[in-house]
A and B are shown apart, each in its own frame.
Chain A
Amino acid sequence: QPVLTQSSSASASLGSSVKLTCTLSSGHSTYIIAWHQQQPGKAPRYLMKLEGSGSYNKGSGVPDRFSGSSSGADRYLTISNLQSEDEADYYCETWDSNTVVFGGGTKLTVL
């Protein structure tokens, strides 16, 4: 089954942009993933589904500041014009027919 690798932490300044990375394991570079945001003390929130082509579909109500892209086995989440409420944990998710895998999560700090 696939493995997803994320950096444990990232930081960026208010109003700037940040690009988070999720890397698929060898042999799984074509997999579709999803990005989820988890603000402190809250349930995860679905942000988008992201394909290997770079095409993405966002969830309802997700701001335009959030976008996705892909390169090989890497899947990216870019957040532009960072706001204080973007400070959260971000998880990538992928799946096979009968199992689901999460990355370890990236803690984003907005400076």
Chain B
Amino acid sequence: QVQLVESGGGMVQPGRSLRLSCAASGFTFSTYAMHWVRQAPGKGLEWVALISNDGSNKYYADSVKGRFTISRDSSKNTLYLQMNSLRGEDTAVYYCARVTSEAWLSGPFEFWGQGTMVTVSS
């Protein structure tokens, strides 16, 4: 069965960096686009970034553009989110998610990880 397991969250000071990982299993990782979505405490879901199946196309929400970088390693079946210049408003649970169809960059998120918490505070 499809499994997405995030890791790498924690507490970090403003301005510092953190890298999140999402280990994927149960499907052919290299054929699906992947996304990061976050949820600030008590708030709704916010899309963060997407990467195409082969890593050639990457797109970001305006709120993280220039600070966050999405990447993937298909040899390790792992998705990453490098977060630089972190701010208090980046405090959230970060989820990785897979779309339903191999043919789509975006689309309904059929599978979600359990999330990893990132707290940005001094």
| B115 contacts across to A, CB distance below 8 A | 43
> A-facing mask of B82-96, CB < 8 A → 1, else 0?
000000000000010
Given contacts A34-B109, A46-B111, 12 further A-B contacts (CB under 8 A): A43-B114, A43-B115, A93-B109, A98-B50, A99-B47, A99-B50, A99-B61, A100-B37, A100-B109, A102-B44, A105-B44, A105-B45
Within 8 A of B (CB), among A35-53: 36, 38, 43-46, 49
From A44, A96, A97, A103, give the contact of B109 (CB < 8 A).
A44
**DSSP class of A's interface residues: helix, strand, loop or mixed?**
strand
A66 at the interface (CB under 8 A from B): no
Q: How far is the CB of B54 from chain A (nearest CB, A)?
A: 15
Within 8 A of A (CB), among B70-121: 95, 100, 105-115
A10 at the interface (CB under 8 A from B): no
Q: How many residues of B contact A (CB 8 A)?
A: 23
A76 at the interface (CB under 8 A from B): no
Within the assembled complex, what's the spacing in Å between the Cα atoms of A102 and B95?
A: 14
Within the assembled complex, what's the spacing in Å between the Cα atoms of A100 and B44?
A: 14
Q: How many residues of A contact B (CB 8 A)?
A: 24
Q: How far is the CB of B79 from chain A (nearest CB, A)?
A: 15
Chain A residues within 8 Å of B, Cβ to Cβ: 32, 34, 36, 38, 43-46, 49, 59, 89, 91, 93, 95-105
Within the assembled complex, what's the spacing in Å between the Cα atoms of A104 and B46?
A: 9
From A43, A49, A97, A102, give the contact of B106 (CB < 8 A).
A97
24 interchain pairs (CB within 8 A)? A34-B107, A34-B109, A38-B45, A43-B114, A44-B45, A44-B109, A45-B112, A46-B110, A46-B111, A46-B112, A89-B44, A91-B44, A91-B45, A93-B108, A98-B59, A98-B105, A98-B106, A99-B50, A100-B37, A100-B47, A100-B109, A102-B44, A105-B44, A105-B45
| B50 contacts across to A, CB distance below 8 A | 98-100
- Check if A100 sits within 8 Å of B112, measured CB to CB: no
- Check if A43 sits within 8 Å of B110, measured CB to CB: no
Within the assembled complex, what's the spacing in Å between the Cα atoms of A101 and B44?
A: 11
- Check if B106 sits within 8 Å of A100, measured CB to CB: yes
B25 at the interface (CB under 8 A from A): no
